[in-house]
Amino acid sequence: MAEKTAPDTGRVRGNLPPLELYVPEPRYRPGDVVDYSHLPVPPAGQLGRPDENCPASETWPMTTDMIRVLDEEDRAVGPWNPGLDAETLRRMLRTMALTRAFDDRMYRGQRQGKTSFYMKCTGEEAISVAHAHALAHDDMVFPTYRQQGILISRGYPLVEMVNQIYSNRADKLKGRQLPVMYSAKDYGFFSISGNLATQYPQAVGWAMASAIKGDTRIATAFVGEGSSAEGDFHAAMTFAAVYNAPVVLNVVNNQWAISSFSGFAGAERTTFAARAAGYGIAGLRVDGNDALAVYAASRWAADRARANQGPTLIEHFTYRAEGHSTSDDPSAYRSAQEREEWPLGDPIMRLKKHLIALGEWSEAQQEAMDRELVEQVKVATKEAEKNGVLGHGLHHPFHTMFEDVFEELPWHLEEQAAQAIREREIKWPEWKGEGA
């Protein structure tokens, strides 16, 4: 019989080996040479495309493989090729390039002190833009903070986006949201929340309500791979599966959740798309830097939801080329070579090369378009700056911070509002009577 000892002695019980805790560690740290040969990248066009009405189990082999359409010669190949016309491809390319130009301008604006915060989606433009093009215009999107391409795809004015980022007097959200956390009900864009993964159960609930009403609109939601470790992710998956909700649930696996690599969310064990099998729903894993593959997978999942075949979990496999935000320095925790060596390339470059290979685009056209988009963003920014930027005074009446929660403001909040306004006028008498 093995000898037993008290749990707190630290001694091994008999001949049993001591337990060991495993802590995930990324392959590369700053200064390391990056080698992605361990990463399986299947050839484009090799995966079959099941019928949208197929049993969910028929998709499960695809959750550990990868849907790819654009091959090494910039051709669209295989059964997932959506067969988009050249005009649609050019429109997607333009929107992706506009999204990047907007990001670059807003990043500089933050560095100039015009806003407190910004988050770029460099390297992930295909995910939001191609996904938006695959949806109906009135489908409801529950985004996270790197899907600005959806708003831009749906024609939301750039000036309004800048107003929100600068929290100025024209900000429709009245300075109450962190910059980049937009809300645009008329564009089917649900309010972005800084509380991670909350949009998943919200999207599933919205989709269930749409089905209860007999509507035709579906919902779609996004989280990063790190947020898939939150409890809300799993609660949403359960409800979506049980009630067959018409929803598309997207996980953007960009390898890093701020400074924590994807292994802390479970990426070392299996893919994020593979979680679909555990809940009995359809799942797809897609090359997130291939706009055609993202469009095809998103359209497949949207059509499936609209046909009452239930939810689909899509993992978009990509790489976050920039820092998590303007408050982040990625050189402190990852090798600078990762971005350069990423085997799936740059989404804008890949779509551009595909159009050139089709004879529908050229380098000269790309350069002219890029210059035009930079100017378009500059004009929108200058227009928004007329409404003020961060640090140039208070842009909204003090009283607005107490409004829009209750239909009629309770007496105690009215009292607090009056007190706040009085104290402000005492401290800054030059503002007396302004914005009360």
Read off the pLDDT of residues 45-88 as tens digits, 9 standing for 90 and up.
999 999 999 999 999 999 999 999 999 999 999 999 999 999 99
Residue-wise over 45-59: b if at least 16 C-beta within 10 A, else e? bebeebebeeebeeb
Indicate the range of 4-13, 14-23, 127-136, 188-197 predicted with least confidence. 4-13
- Give the residue extent of every domain in the chain: 55-385, 398-431
Give burial (CB, 10 Å; 0-12/13-18/19+) of 20: exposed
Query: pLDDT (tens digit, 9 = 90+) per residue, 333-390?
Result: 999 999 999 999 999 999 999 999 999 999 999 999 999 999 999 999 999 999 999 8
Give residue 342's pLDDT: 97
Which pTM value belongs to this model?
A: 0.94
Q: Which helix (H) or strand (E) holds 302?
A: helix 291-306
Give mean pLDDT, residues 121-142.
98
Q: What is the pLDDT of residue 10?
A: 60
- Mean model confidence pLDDT for the chain: 94
Phi, psi of 287 (to 5 degrees): -65, 105
Contact criterion met (CB below 8 Å) for 99 and 149: yes
The pLDDT > 70 percentage for the chain reads: 95
Report the b/e string of 71-82 with b at 16+ CB within 10 A: eeebbbbbebbb
**Which pLDDT score is estimated for 425?**
86
Task: Provide the percentage of residues in the chain whose pLDDT is more than 90.
Answer: 89
For 187-213, what is each residue's pLDDT tens digit? 999 999 989 999 999 999 999 999 999
Lookup: tokens for 58: 């028929």
Please tell me the predicted confidence (pLDDT) of residue 5. Answer: 52
> What's residue 278's pLDDT?
98
Question: Per-residue pLDDT for 392 more than 90?
Answer: no
pLDDT at residue 435 tops 80: no
CA of 291: how far to CAs of 55, 190, 357, in Å?
26, 23, 15
Task: Give the 3-state secondary structure of 123-171.
Answer: CCHHHHHHHHHHCCCCCEEECCCCCHHHHHHCCCCHHHHHHHHHCCCCC
**String of DSSP letters for 170-199:** T-TTTT-S-TT---BGGGTBPPP-SSTTTH
DSSP, collapsed to helix, strand or coil, labels residue 335 as coil
Average pLDDT estimate for 296-317: 98
pLDDT of 12 > 90? The answer is: no
Answer whether residue 43 shows pLDDT above 80. yes
CATH of domain 55-385: 3.40.50.970
Distance CA 79, CA 59 (A): 14
What whole-number distance in Å separates Cα of residue 105 and Cα of residue 118?
Answer: 10
Per-residue pLDDT band at 133 (split at 50, 70, 90): very high
Q: Residue 146: its pLDDT value, please?
A: 96
